[in-house]
Every structure is written in structure tokens, then in C-alpha cells.
Structure 1
Amino acid sequence: MLSLLRRITQEVTAAQSLQAALDIIVRRVRRAMRSEVCSIYLVDPNSQDYILMATRGLNADAAGKLSLKADEGLVSLVGRRAEPVNLEDAHVHPAFHYLSGTGEERYRSFLGVPIIHHRQVLGVLVVQHEERRRFDEGEEAFLITLSAQLAGVIAHAEATGAMMSLTPNSPPVGADFRYKGIAGSSGVAIGKAAVIFPPADLDVIPDRVPQSVEQEVEDFYQALEAVRGDIRKVSSRLSQHISSDEKALFDVYLKILDDNSLAAEIVSKIEEGNWAPGALRQVIKLHISFFE
């Protein structure tokens, strides 16, 4: 089970978009748990409705179109409680609400777990069976673990504006972001804000069409020169503290940066229509796959 979780996590982390990550989850979970249905509902940031975003087993055409109100159905019950709901027969539960157009009327058993990031419910991961039965503790633990992984992917999509609104007819939202923090002490403090970025990770770099190919190429070469300067500074600063063999590593790094074929590959990807960070990711991931 651990190896399966690891493989799914790797696939989700490498997904090129939020929707791709959701599709991977529902497909892989349905197969792993041998369930007849796996679905993901996400909370729309504007309406707070639960939008059916991805599913295997229900009507695929309903994804992205159907939703439940914040106080409607078992999915919202999971969200309000912020804890799993495991039912042998969902239809007899007072909170059950049939979502027309999904084809879920024949499925009786229900297991829903909340997708939570920093105490905020971002959505609900659901599996269903046609037969009446309760899901066991192992299945529940498996789903909870996956929902934690999915929470990070969704939180990143929120932070980058990829899910400003999940409903197609919602009004446009401004470019400003609001982040809710947890107070460390009472009172008021005034100062400069600092954005703490996570560790560099190629897998989180999205593809993006550049406004100017020429500018992206220029920015890329400027970045190369900046890194060369950084490496030279570090090499000089540490030269008195490391061996000659260790110091030679910095020369290797510089030679890698001076490799015209690598730079040419990245420039080629930019000219094909990707911005510099996305082009860099494409080329580096390709070389990683060769070594693997």
C-alpha cells in the first residue's frame, strides 16, 4: 500500500495542471480501492459551493458543471465536519441529496474525506459502491493520506491563481490575493511583508505562453550570467576552507552552464512558445529521464 501511495503521489506531483492531478487521483484511487466511483469536489472560492471537478464512475460530462451548496448533501456534510463520513447506505442518511445528472442513484455505500490545508477545507474526496457496505479502516486511512497530498496541489493552484473561480459563469475576480494567517500574538504590528517561497521544485513550474519570445531569451541568458557570478563568488569565498577536489566541483558547474547545446535546447523550447522557466523545466526533465 505504501508503494502504491508513493507512486500516486509522484504522478500527482508531476501533473502539468490541477485538472490533470485531479484526473490522476480519481482514476488511480478507483482502481486501487476497486471502487465503482471516485470523485473530487472542490470548494469554489467565490460561491463556496462544492463543484464536481473530476470523477470516474459518474457521468463524466457532469464534471465542472454540477455543484452542491455549502449546506447541501453528504459532500458538504464532510466539509462542515472536516472529518470523514463513512456510510453503509447513503440514501437513508438525512443529509443525502441526489445530484441530478451524475447517475449516482444506484450507488449506496459512501466514503468521503475532507481535503484540508492549514485548517481550511478545500474540497472532498469521495468513493462509492453500488452494494451496501462500510469501507474498512485501511481504505479510510488510504483515502485520508491521498487527500493530504492533494491538499498541497490545490493550495498551490489557489496561490498561483489557477482556481480563482471554478464555475464558468462566475464574475471575474481581481488580481489581488488575500492570505489568511494564524495569529502568533495579540495586538498590531506594522512592517514590511516578506514572501517565503518554498524550496525550488521543477515540478511546480507551469507552462506559459510568453508575451515576447525575444525578451524571454534575453532573460534566460541574463539568468545564466547571474548564476555564473554566484558560483564564482561562492567558490572564491570557500576556497580557503575546502580541498582542491571540492573546489573543482565549482568549475564543473560553470562548464555545465557554458554548455551551448543545453542552452540551445532551452532557447529552442522558448521559440516553440514556452516561457523561460517552463522551457528550462522541459529540458531538465528530459535529461533527468535519460539518466534514469
Structure 2
Amino acid sequence: MLDTLRRIVQEVNNAPDIRSALDLMAQRVRDAMGTEVCSIYLRDNNEERYMLMASEGLKREAVGRVSLGTSEGLVGQVGQREEPINLEDAFSHPKFHYLAETGEDPFHAFLGVPVMHHGEVLGVLVVQQRDARRFDQSEEAFLVTISAQLSAVIAHAHASGVLFDQLDTKDLPSIHDGQPGSTGAAIGIGVLLFPETDLSAVPDRDATDISGEIALLDEALVRVRQEIRDLAER
């Protein structure tokens, strides 16, 4: 299972954009867990709703169209409780909300886990199955681990302003929540550190001194090799 988890994370990190990453995650998780449905709902704070952004097993036309209020249905319940919900028969739960557009009629077993980043709920990851049965602890742990990996991808897309179609305007300012390093207040220039594994997020800039840039790259490679050697010795 660890090899499967590692492979999924690597594939998702290498996806060209957030929508491809979500589709890939839904497909790979469904295949890895042997379930019939895997869906990803993302929270739109402006609309205060969870939008179905990717799914393998539900109707394709529902993706990007179907949504739930933040307190609506089992998805909303997972977000409110900020913990997994594992149900043998979702239809019998009082919070179950039927969505005819998704074609979820035959799926009874339900496992939903929150996708969280720095204590904030970004979305809900759901798997479903026709047979009424409770997902076991290893399956629940796998989905929780996957959701933790997915949270970094979603948080970066949120900060970049490309998570939802209505936020793809480049001229709009973006907000980045930071972690305080000390008490008090300070005024300065903020620096956004791009994820190391996401080369597509690094902005292209014209180089004024090409030979100097190459020298910096060579120096960085030497330092990284030495750091790896030191780490191996420790």
C-alpha cells in the first residue's frame, strides 16, 4: 500500500494543472481501493458551498455543476466535524442528501474524509460502493493519508487563484496565510516560496547574465550533493 501511495502522490505532483491532478487522484484512489466511486468536493468560501470538482464513478456531467451547502449532506457533515465519516449504509443516515444529478442511487457504503491545510477545511474526499459495508481501518487510514497529500496541491492552487473558473483572472490579488515566527507586528516584503516539486509554478523570467545563472545552478548542484552525502553519513 505504501508503494501505491507513493506512486499516486508522485503522479499527482507531476500533473500539469490542478484539474488534471484532481481527475488523476480520483481515478488512482478508486483503482487502489477497489471501490466503485471516488469523488473530490472542494470548498468555495465565496459561495459557502462544496463543489463536485472530480469524480470517477458518478456522472461526468455532474462535475463542476453539482454542489452542496457547507452544512448540507454527508459531505457538509464531514467538513463540519473535520473528521472521517464511515457509514455502512449512507441512505439511512439523517444527514444524507440525495443528488439525482450525480447518479449515486445504488451506492450505499460511504467513506468521506476532510481535506485540510493548516487547520482549514479545503474540501472532502469521498469513496462509495454499492454493497452496504463499513470500510476497514486500513482503507480509512489510506484515504486520510491521501487527503493530506492532496491538501498541499489544493492549497497551492487556492493561493495561485486557479482553483475555480471564476478565479482565473491573473490581475486579481491573491491572499496567502502565513505561520507566525514571533510575536508582534512587522512590515516588509512578502516572498512566496513555490513548492519544490511543482516546476510549472515557477515564473519564467528573462536572464540578464546567462553565464552567471549557469554558475549559480552548478554551485547549487554541488551543495545539494554534499548535503545528501552529509545526510547519508548521519
TM-score, length basis structure 1: 0.68
Alpha-carbon distance between aligned partners in 2 of 1:29 and 1:200, rounded to the nearest angstrom: 24
Counterparts of residues 193-232 of structure 1 (less than 5 Å) = 193-198=189-194, 200-201=196-197, 203-206=198-201, 219-220=206-207, 222=208, 224-228=210-214, 230=216
CA contact 1:115–1:124 (8 Å) conserved in 2: yes
Alpha-carbon distance between aligned partners in 2 of 1:177 and 1:133, rounded to the nearest angstrom: 43
Match of 2:24, SS?
A: helix
Q: 1 or 2, which has the higher helix percentage?
A: 1
| TM-aligned CA distance change 1:191 to 1:108, over 3 Å | same
Counterparts of residues 19-34 of structure 1 (less than 5 Å) = 19-34=19-34
Amino acid at match of 2:112: G
Task: Tell me how large the CA RMSD over aligned residues is.
Answer: 2.9
Q: Tell me how far 1:207 sits from its aligned partner.
A: 9.7
Alpha-carbon distance between aligned partners in 2 of 1:199 and 1:63, rounded to the nearest angstrom: 27
Q: 1 or 2, which has the higher strand percentage?
A: 2
Is 1:190 paired with 2:186? Answer: yes
Alpha-carbon distance between aligned partners in 1 of 2:146 and 2:95, rounded to the nearest angstrom: 25
Match of 1:46, SS?
A: coil
TM-score, length basis structure 2: 0.84
Match of 1:194, SS?
A: coil
Match of 1:86 in 2: 86
Amino acid at match of 1:145: T
Match of 1:283 in 2: none
Structure 1's unaligned 5+ residue stretches are 211-215, 236-245, 247-292
Counterparts of residues 127-276 of structure 1 (less than 5 Å) = 127-163=127-163, 165-166=164-165, 175-182=172-179, 188-198=184-194, 200-201=196-197, 203-206=198-201, 219-220=206-207, 222=208, 224-228=210-214, 230=216
CA contact 1:17–1:206 (8 Å) conserved in 2: no
Amino acid at match of 2:100: S
Query: Sequence identity, in percent?
Result: 47
Structure 2's unaligned 5+ residue stretches are 223-234
Alpha-carbon distance between aligned partners in 2 of 1:204 and 1:113, rounded to the nearest angstrom: 29
CA contact 2:160–2:174 (8 Å) conserved in 1: no
**Which digits, 9 at most, give the CA deviation of each residue in 1:238-262, with x for residues without a partner?**
xxxxxxxx9xxxxxxxxxxxxxxxx
Alpha-carbon distance between aligned partners in 1 of 2:168 and 2:152, rounded to the nearest angstrom: 26
Amino acid at match of 2:186: I
Alpha-carbon distance between aligned partners in 2 of 1:47 and 1:173, rounded to the nearest angstrom: 20
Amino acid at match of 1:108: H
Match of 1:116, SS?
A: strand
